[in-house]
Amino acid sequence: MPDTSSALDTIIQSSTVDLFHSCGIALAPLPRKRDAEQIPRYELTGTISFSGRGFTGTLTLSVPQAAFSLIRQDPHRPFRDWDWVRELTNQLLGRIKNRLTQFQVSFNAGLPSVMSSEVFDRQRNRAEPVAVYRFRTLRGEIIVTLNGTIDPAVFVYSGTGNLATEGDIILF
Amino acid sequence: MKKILIVDDSETIRQQLAAALERAGFDVVEAIDGIEGLEQAQEHQFDLAILDVNMPRLNGLEMLERLKLDPKFTKLPVLMLTTEAQQSMIERAKKAGARGWMIKPVKMDLLVGTVSKLVG
Q: What is the mean pLDDT of each run of 10 residues along chain B (120 residues)?
A: 97 94 97 98 98 96 97 97 91 97 93 96
Check residue A163 and give its pLDDT. Answer: 67
Write the ipTM.
Answer: 0.92
| Percent of chain A whose predicted confidence (pLDDT) is above 90 | 49
- Is the pLDDT score of A1 beyond 60? no
Tell me the mean pLDDT in the region A20-49.
83
Q: Which of B83, B84, B100 sits opposite A171 (nearest CB)?
A: B100
Check residue A36 and give its pLDDT. Answer: 57
Check residue A110 and give its pLDDT. Answer: 95
Q: In this structure, which amino acid lies at residue B105?
A: P
Asked, as a colleague might, if the bond just before A112 is cis with ω within 30 of 0, I would say no
Partners of residue A144 on adjacent β-strands: A61, A133
Q: Can you tell me the distance from the alpha carbon of A28 to that of A141, in angstroms, rounded to the nearest whole number?
A: 9
Q: CATH code at B102?
A: 3.40.50.2300
User: Could you tell me the residue range of the domain that residue B22 belongs to?
Assistant: 3-119
- Is the pLDDT score of A3 beyond 80? no
- Comparing C-alpha atoms, which of A107, A91, A95 is closest to residue A46? A91
Minimum Cα–Cα distance from B83: chain A residue: A94
Cβ of B85 within 8 Å of Cβ of A164? The answer is: yes
Looking only at Cα atoms, what is the longest distance across chain A?
50
Q: What is the separation of C-alpha A19 from the centre of its chain, rounded to a whole number of angstroms? A: 9
Strand ranges in chain A using DSSP code E only, listed in sequence order: 28-29, 44-51, 55-63, 108-109, 113-115, 131-137, 140-150, 169-171
Query: Total domain count for chain B?
Result: 1
Q: Can you tell me the distance from the alpha carbon of B78 to that of B17, in angstroms, rounded to the nearest whole number?
A: 15
Check residue B113 and give its pLDDT. Answer: 97
Tell me the mean pLDDT in the region A142-153.
90
From chain A, pick out residues whose CB is under 8 angstroms from the CB of B110: 167, 169
